[in-house]
Amino acid sequence: MKILVVDDVGYTCHFHSRLVEKFGYTACSATSGYEALNYLKTDNDISIVVTDLMMRGMDGVDLFREAQTLERFTDEGPLDPPQFILMTALRLEKNSQDKDVQRLKLAKELGVAKIMFKPLDQDELEATLKDMAMGAPNTASNGKSLDLFTPTQRLKEAVKEIIDSGNAGAAEQFIGCLSEEVTSLQKFLETLETI
Amino acid sequence: MTRSDLASIPGNWRLINREEVLDMAMGDVEFLAEMIELFLSYVPRQMNDIKQAIEENDSQKLSDAAHACKGTISNYTKLEPFHLLQSLENDGKSEQIQETRIKFHLLEKEISLLSAELKMLMVQECGHSPSAEHAGSTQRQSL
């Protein structure tokens, strides 16, 4: 499994690639959306993409969209699109007309698995990559594993929205239960990996 | 005593938080040295991009260049240089570039101080200075 880091700012691209390597993963990097797309077309080992939002040419949202339509095949059949982490230094503000903020909102609507704000919280990044890696297809072995991260993340975000809307008590109870279930499932999957 | 001199006093940091920077490098001094060297090589180029955008009155280019530089320094400080870059980025977005030269001059001073602090941190934590290639790479580029 490889993680592709995409950022058109060389320093940031290098920094995040090295960080991913220090977490124990194999990283590759691209300094544009187009270059990233070429990597995805030719390297089936890439299961996770960590991309910047604002990039000249193809931005992170366009890269996500293009990646969903890419046809990637292994000997065992078609491969799921990679999971995405979108990085941005922007902040989501209600009613903002800033076009970059609108792109960020669009990314959320399109279902990007995770949006992280720069500078990245390294613990959060490591935990997110770990969760994603557990659900990432392993092209080196037979079959595809289940993507557990994306639906779980969507559920969590849905509950957060309930909290934001004011029904805090019920929603907090629900998210607590959900987190427990996810932890149990992760432990179960770790047990499977060690067998 | 200049602000750069202040940065040379161990433990006297105005822009960086030593613990946070070490956390960023996950306590790995080699990684820290690598990232500081990289920072010192990138920032002058990014400052040059901002300078060119101002000289050309190109607001889109200014917004892009300030945003990129903000991303680079955000791992080290959220203080004055970060705010100045945010302000320049906003000026570019709103095409209000009358005060950008003044802000750029202030930014140059702040970036010089940030670089001085990072060099000093590198000496203290990693036991060596940046390579000669980057030692003088943060000289001011006046408009």
pLDDT in tens, B25-83: 988 999 999 999 999 999 999 999 999 999 999 999 999 999 999 989 998 999 999 99
Residues of chain A with C-beta less than 8 angstroms from the C-beta of B71: 7, 9, 11-12, 52, 89, 118
Residues in chain B: 143
Tell me which architecture the domain covering B3-135 has in CATH: Up-down Bundle (1.20)
Answer whether residue B2 shows pLDDT above 60.
no
Fold of the CATH domain A2-144: Rossmann fold (3.40.50)
Residues of chain B with C-beta less than 8 angstroms from the C-beta of A7: 71
State which H helix or E strand residue A142 sits in: none
Residues of chain B with a CB closer than 8 angstroms to some CB in chain A? 23-24, 26, 28, 31, 34-35, 38-39, 42, 46, 64, 67-68, 70-72, 74-75, 93
Q: Residue A147 — very low, low, confident or very high, per pLDDT cuts 50/70/90?
A: low
pLDDT in tens, B78-126: 999 999 999 999 999 898 888 899 999 999 999 999 999 999 999 998 8
Q: What is the pLDDT of residue B1?
A: 47
Percent of chain A with pLDDT over 90: 46
Closest A-chain CA to B78: A119
pTM above 0.80, yes or no: no
Higher pLDDT, A186 or A85: A85
Cβ contact B71–A11 (<8 Å) = yes
Specify the 3-state DSSP secondary structure of B77: coil
Residues of chain A with C-beta less than 8 angstroms from the C-beta of B72: 9, 11-12
Q: In what order do the strands lie in the sheet with A114-117?
A: A26-30, A2-6, A46-52, A83-88, A114-117
Answer whether residue A141 shows pLDDT above 50.
no
Cβ contact A56–B34 (<8 Å) = no
Domain extents in chain A? 2-144, 148-195
Q: What is the pLDDT of residue A24?
A: 95
Q: Residue A144 — very low, low, confident or very high, per pLDDT cuts 50/70/90?
A: very low
**Angle (deg, nearest 10), helices A33-42 and A60-69:** 20
What is the pLDDT of chain A when averaged over all its residues?
84
Closest A-chain CA to B23: A122
